[in-house]
Amino acid sequence: MVAAQQGGKRIGYVRVSSVDQNTVRQLDGVQVDKVFTDKASGKDTNRPQLKAALDYLRDGDVLVVHSMDRLARNIIDLLHTVETLTKRGVVVEFVKELLSFNGDDSAMSKLMLTIMGGVAEFERAMIRERQLEGIAKAKQAGKYTGRKSTMTPTQVQAIRDRVAAGENKSALARDFGVTRQTIYNIAAV
């Protein structure tokens, strides 16, 4: 655990992938002065609380994050974020990996950041790959049909007729209160 420099604060950042996930476990038992929490996928670039935390941090503060994969979407993002913060005089501490970075890090520390960040990115990719394989097998077995359509057969036919008549797909999406991709999916069948 890294202590904040004289007058600095320990600022926690927590990210969970969905609204119903528990945020408490990530920094449970870790002393922080303030916590910023996002409920968003790691691949999502719109993380307002991360931006707020980064704006809040000052020279001498410590940013405390449960693990590397909670802070960054990929290795490039991780390296950039840590380097940007340490150049501002902020120490970055990862609880799970037991690593902290202050900008005066040795070549070995930088190697560890790169390796551990790469491992986290690889783990996420493997999870996603297994998830897609499972979905494909479930579809083959007829057990995965996706989300139930909110559109009635009459609405679907109306969309197909209007697309065939040459109507603008964006306008159709607005008219029916769906995304353009939904219109394209219906038109393709």
Provide the pLDDT confidence category of residue 108 given band limits of 50, 70 and 90: confident
Provide the pLDDT confidence category of residue 145 given band limits of 50, 70 and 90: confident
Show which residues are catalytic. Answer: 17
Share of the chain above pLDDT 70, in %: 93
Pairing outcome for strands 91-94 and 99-101: antiparallel
CA separation, residue 112 to residues 116, 146, 149 (Å): 6, 41, 47
CA distance 132 to 58: 42
Amino acid, res. 152: T
pLDDT in tens, 42-66: 666 778 999 999 999 999 999 999 9
pLDDT in tens, 14-23: 988 766 666 7
Q: What is the pTM of this model?
A: 0.67
